[in-house]
Amino acid sequence: MSTLAPEAYLHPDIIRQVQGFDLKAKFVMEGFLAGLHKSPFKGFSVEFSEHRKYVSGDDIRSIDWKVWSRTNRYYVKQYEAETNLTGHLLVDLSASMGYAGKPGGLTKLEYATYLAGAMSYLMIGQQDPVGLVTFDDKVRKYLKPKSKPSHLLSMLRVLAEAKPSGTTDLSTCLHQIAEMIPHRGLVMVFSDLLEDAEARVLDALAHLRFRGHEVIVFQIFDAAEARFPFDELTRFEDLEGAAESVTAEPAAIRAAYLSEVNAFLGRYRTECVKRRIDFVNVDTATSFDKALLAYLQRRCGK
């Protein structure tokens, strides 16, 4: 269990920097109009909300011609899609997320919580609701999306109190979550993706896309997993117990290990691109604020 208070995950520096960015949807759906309204997040819901007067710059396709025929005035149809985008944070709590390669270092779950906290702050600050789902081999917690500032602390408190344990069943959980979420939104997955069945995980991510969600996958490795800095004879253990422990001379296996890791990341990156999913690979040696800001800059074209 983390010893950090929930508020610790919201560093003033990252708040100050992140709030300057508009996380704009890159995937443009039919009827998904260019331009930003009250929120720089563009929603996906198509439920009618109200009419409003036409103003210069509105898309003429949104004009309600029936209203014009009765009033001789231009009004446009406004939908929930124009004002809200609902975010969902999906955080992996399996045992491997509790790994920290050096004493006192951030675990992958703590790193994920920093990222999730910043994204939540960004969305709630723009009055967009965001919710939280935690899972390992099954869904553990579900906090429905809300846009109240107090909801941010509720989500962070759940993550701060979480204890990584057990195995992961990422694919099954993603399929379940895809059916749980009633409306289209922005789904952010925070996981190391360490599940043997890559094809099943990719199918589950595709399920989220099929449901109309925009998906961002933050794949998180510990620096030791990503860079394999070991020098002395070392015992390597699977934290989730799926494989036997191995004692090896790091120099003898480093090249093969790094080759496998790079191939693993390459497959996910390639397959996510095919499915129009954003794939963001980070490791805990990279300051989480720099990692997040680099992604937002790239996404916003800045």
Asked if residue 287 belongs to a domain, the reply is yes
pLDDT tens digit string along 243-275?
667 777 878 888 998 999 999 999 999 999 999
pLDDT tens digit string along 144-172?
999 988 898 888 889 888 889 888 899 99
The more confidently predicted of residues 287 and 20 is 287
158 vs 42: CA distance, rounded Å: 28
Nearest by Cα to 196 from 159, 229, 168: 168
268 vs 199: CA distance, rounded Å: 10
In this structure, the strands spanning 130-135 and 214-221 are unpaired
pTM, 2 dp = 0.77
Asked if residue 32 belongs to a domain, the reply is no
Shared domain for 124 and 18, answered yes or no, is yes
Secondary structure (3-state) at 133:
strand
pLDDT tens digit string along 131-141?
999 999 999 99
Asked if residue 282 belongs to a domain, the reply is yes
φ, ψ dihedrals at 46, nearest 5°:
-115, 25
Could you list the residue range(s) of the whole structural domain that residue 75 is in? 48-82
Provide the pLDDT for residue 20. Answer: 60
Shared domain for 76 and 195, answered yes or no, is no
Provide the pLDDT for residue 230. Answer: 81
Place of tokens 């490791």: 283
Q: How far is CA 220 from CA 76, 108, 112, 285, 288, in A?
A: 44, 6, 7, 11, 10
Average pLDDT, the chain: 79
Place of tokens 């990692």: 291
**Residue 39 near residue 84 (C-beta atoms within 8 A):** yes
What CATH number has the domain bearing residue 186? Answer: 3.40.50.410
Total domain count, the chain: 2
Share of residues in the chain with pLDDT > 90 (%): 36
pLDDT tens digit string along 7-66?
666 666 666 666 665 554 333 222 222 332 333 334 444 444 566 777 776 667 777 778
**Residue 215 near residue 189 (C-beta atoms within 8 A):** yes
